[in-house]
Structure 1
């Protein structure tokens, strides 16, 4: 949730007289990855059409946003009128049920508002209250945080929301669950009666409707999701025994072109055990769960987001809202118990309409749950094929780079072999050829037996298309 100070306390604005302001923008490289229709099917509006402050537009463009998405097209003009909003979509404005989401959201606010002098404060549990008290003694325009900490600040009189006109919640279904709902309802009492409330989520269970009827005034309702599943994410399952899972995961790592992956387990203990196994297999791996120190969680999240590590094993702590564009593969090492968790997990890949891959390791005990989730989401999770087309989850530019590198490697190998052949005797050539034939035969036998699952941990035999 985020609080925004009243207009008379907002930062001073920059000079608007320079008509060539766009020429001075420091724009990031363009993202040429294909996007799904649910993100690209806009009305053709531009951010300038909404008469936003130029300083805000500068922050938007320099953050890499060229045109508003469908949910932004629907939300921005309504939000500017001060009307309450109930919006259902995959992408939203603010993300705050967990500490990681609060950190991510605050960074987005800072990026968008950097030309406006906006001061953003992030506050979450697990950090010292003293630092927050000192920070609030200075000018703060936007507060982003988790419900418990914000209520604590309001209850102690440290944060005054009596003149704060805007109250925004994303992942509203989580914030209004029994875990958070009493805190949120109590927090609302610290806001003025004419405050504006905006709720965003991919799912809206009955508990959200109850909250809407009680606290929102004739909200403008936006529903941009006719179907729950994410269009850009290809979903597969591999039927394995529990003891085969690690071997199956190893096969996936060796066959898939993973940019970054998130691997979900159903308990904190299994998170740590699996992360250790992955590291022992020789792959870079971080892990994160709710029982870790907040400082450690922050470091893991920051490093993974910056590409320090390729694989992240976690519990459902990171199922909601985490927006890491580089993640193109999600693996459910443990299959989730309900459709809502499944939906949020696989949504960590295919962010903002880009392509992604979700692979579920299914045991005998999961088979009924798999069917139930398929029915509830109105989707079909296909059995994993022997060949997974890379075009389903890899950006075209990455495919080109990989193919170029493979060609270069092949050429280098050919040059090396040619040079060696000129300097060695015929008998050595014969021995080398014999060794290569033997090795090729062994590899052929090995790959040929990977497609079938067997009791000794044969795996699921994924082969990635070249």
Structure 2
């Protein structure tokens, strides 16, 4: 345990030990000391680097159990992300005497009012619902010490920044503001500068993150992409893959083709009901289904552990979207594989994006029942076998085609 964790209240130390963490990530080491000093902060760090604990632990550590009013507000653009943050907060306030409440748009208002009657010390919610409760004088925020705005760039894109500003405006001027995102663009930077007081910017570059992610591509005619995805899934034992497409309109078509080929999968679309989404996510997290077919909107902000593969069945629009998608695997330094199924015309985009983020790109082939990787920089071959949890346990180069395993498991 690091010295920083020793400085936290005992209930946080106990939860940390119970979680099995052994060290802080880069963003946690950099952000926590500043947050404990009540400075306004802008945090930019790639997906999967531990941002939630970076802002949640110091905020929870400053809560006063004797003060029976809301002291910390966490805001998130989606109900799924809000619930994830809430679950983390619950976990790290166990046996503390502190309580929290989730205030999410679309949920039952009366139940939320009942939660507020229990005087929670922290709340996690979506901007619109939190603003509504403040305006209706159901939520008092006069003792709020810290407001955290997670996925700040997405909040602006979704048009929720006005709601956030009204929530901030209802609190005292000496409260701490924390803006968090995987990528901070000019709009987000200008917005945070407008609202915060001389905010410090804490940034972890992509190359600084300790991950073991392999980026690869597989050339395929568009009409053959689903079948090649099916082969990839079949030939990768222990796979746990998030497969991205660009539009919900094609979701049923792709899902039907894979299910016809006996591939177990779950579908996460923007129009899925809350109950459908929760069941699919739970089944995927527990390993009941190896494949999650989804869109960018449906997965924004979700933290799904132990994803072995991210597959771009349809290419993203730009490098930013590529990074966001790819960040679903290799989280917290674990191994992972990113596979782009591309036509010959699409290949140049993937090469440009990986060069832009300075990661090597490898070519992936399916050959005689094995997933084979060609290092396009060195023009050598590697065979992904044996495999552990869907990720190569030992990649040994070989150049003699006759020595390759000829067993066909298709």
Coarse TM-score class (shorter-chain normalised): 0.7 to 0.9
Task: Find the aligned partners of 2:386 and 2:108 in 1 and give their Cα distance.
Answer: 45
1:263-322 Cα distance to aligned partner (Å, 9 max, x none): 111111222322222222212211111111122212222332233322111111354432
1:384-406 Cα distance to aligned partner (Å, 9 max, x none): 24514548984699959xxxxxx
Q: CA offset at residue 194 of structure 1?
A: 1.0
Superposition map of 1:451-462 within 5 A: none
- Report the TM-score, using the length of structure 1 for normalisation: 0.71
Q: CA offset at residue 117 of structure 1?
A: 2.7
- The answer to whether structure 1 residue 87 and structure 2 residue 43 are counterparts is yes
Deviates more, 1:67-76 or 1:170-179: 170-179
> 302, 306, 309: which one pairs with 1:326?
306
SS in structure 1 at match of 2:80: helix
Task: Find the aligned partners of 1:223 and 1:369 in 2 and give their Cα distance.
Answer: 26
- Specify the alignment match of 2:9 in structure 1: 53
- Specify the alignment match of 1:17 in structure 2: none
> 55, 68, 75: which one pairs with 2:24?
68
- Specify the alignment match of 1:109 in structure 2: 89
Change (3 A) 1:107 1:72: same
Change (3 A) 1:365 1:131: farther
- Specify the alignment match of 2:200 in structure 1: 220
Task: Find the aligned partners of 1:444 and 1:353 in 2 and give their Cα distance.
Answer: 34
- Specify the alignment match of 2:336 in structure 1: 356
Contact 1:84–1:219, Cα closer than 8 Å, also in 2:
yes
Change (3 A) 1:377 1:84: same
More strand by share: 2
Contact 1:235–1:358, Cα closer than 8 Å, also in 2:
yes
Q: In angstroms, what is the RMSD of aligned CA positions?
A: 2.9
- Specify the alignment match of 1:314 in structure 2: 294
Superposition map of 1:130-279 within 5 A: 130-177=110-157, 179-225=159-205, 227=207, 231-279=211-259
More helix by share: 1
Task: Kindly name which structure, 1 or 2, has the bigger radius of gyration based on alpha carbons.
Answer: 1
Q: CA offset at residue 368 of structure 1?
A: 5.0
Unpaired runs of 5+ in structure 2? 57-74, 367-371, 374-382, 395-404
Superposition map of 1:427-438 within 5 A: none
Unpaired runs of 5+ in structure 1? 1-43, 401-442, 451-466
- Report the TM-score, using the length of structure 2 for normalisation: 0.80
Change (3 A) 1:274 1:193: same
Contact 2:243–2:293, Cα closer than 8 Å, also in 1:
yes
Task: Find the aligned partners of 1:373 and 1:185 in 2 and give their Cα distance.
Answer: 34
SS in structure 2 at match of 1:384: strand
